[in-house]
Amino acid sequence: MSTDMLTYLDSELPEVYRNMPSQELDERIQRAKEQLGQDLVILGHHYQRDDVIKFADYRGDSLKLARIGAELKQAKYIIFCGVHFMAETADTLAQDDQVVILPDLRAGCSMADMADIEDLEEAWEILQEQFGDTIIPLTYVNSTAAIKAFVGKHGGTTCTSSNAHKVLKWAFTQKKRILFLPDQHLGRNTAYAMGIPLEQMVVWSPQAAQFEEVAGELDQVRMILWKGHCSVHQKFTAEQIHRIRERDPEMRVIVHPECSFDVVQLADYSGSTEYIIKTIEAAPAGSKWAVGTEVNLVQRLANENPDKKVVLLSTTMCPCLTMNRIDRPHLLWALDSILDGHPIHVIEVDDETKHWSKVALDRMLAI
């Protein structure tokens, strides 16, 4: 990709934006949006902070937003208020004349960064020697374009937390084993719910370049789980569930499948971000919910469902710190750069990576 994520020479926020009063930031962002009109669309991920997402034209999960951006062909500029891999997906799906911008290049994803393309290529070689041509690679959409492209090139596909079950079911019709990247918890929770025992799952450590958590015979392995996780959902524990139920037995617990296995097993409900939102919206008035996902979304759910009690499962704040780097000063800077004719922080995926990433994504959509 043309954007160099290893250096941030052009991402140092100018002082004028750092010191701008809150009201002026709001007024100038709104004015810039009006000036750009249909040439612009601002996409806001569910985990985005409230003072930014209020300016989003659309909000949702990463793939939904990327597809919306591509469908709005009149929008010359797509500002993605999310993290880097999301902007890459938006550029992969965007029209050739659309420009995708990430307001702050430092907004990355620790989970996506846990699956490095060089580590994957090394792992694939070792796994092919161990298991032969019996493995299909799958990647969660929360991964870099390079990882998606590798998966696409090797006959695999992507999945979301909403369709992981359906995609895994398809994958097992293709090969005996699945290499699942980069989130081990989504892979484990989904496969277990499909009836695959834990003894038929192993964890691949890219740091050690070897298997971990081997409970059964290697020749019986069906799920090879990449050793990656979401730093936000890792913070939720079984102890928190026990404690909240002791305090209030009427509290229902709903968590994201990126949470650890024991948390998902103890929860009353588990599902994607969209599932969590829809479940709480449809719940009866007076119901009580402890939610195991990112705190900005939980607080928004509480505000938008005042007839229910909605609290964070954890007693400590669980924000997505990297996504929180997208703030109003960076958003205004990005908007001003478009108006000045020199857009900053343009995310471009190279043509070959874009091609194979799209192959992986299209396979998923076909499923």
Q: Is 259 annotated as a binding residue?
A: no
Tell me whether residue 305 is annotated as binding: no
DSSP output for 303-339:
HH-TTSEEEESSSS----TTGGG--HHHHHHHHHHHH
Q: What whole-number distance in Å separates Cα of residue 139 and Cα of residue 226?
A: 10
- 88 annotated ligand-binding residue: no
The radius of gyration of the chain from alpha carbons, rounded to an integer in Å, stands at 21
Is 109 annotated as contributing to ligand binding? yes
Q: Is 256 assigned to a binding site?
A: yes
Distance, in Å, from the CA atom of 176 to the CA atom of 199, rounded to the nearest integer, reads: 15
The residue among 324, 322, 319, 298 whose CA lies nearest residue 310 is 298
Dihedral of alpha carbons 15, 31, 302, 45, sign: negative
81 is in an annotated binding site: no
Amino acid at 280: I
Residue 348: burial class (beta carbons within 10 Å; 0-12, 13-18, 19+): middle
Q: Are strands 201-205 and 210-212 parallel, antiparallel or unpaired?
A: antiparallel
Asked whether residue 330 is marked as a ligand-binding residue, the answer is no
143 is in an annotated binding site: no
For the annotated binding site for iminosuccinate, the residues are 45, 62, 140-142, 161, 256-258, 273
For the annotated binding site, the residues are 45, 62, 109, 140-142, 161, 230, 256-258, 273, 320
For the annotated binding site for [4Fe-4S] cluster, the residues are 109, 230, 320
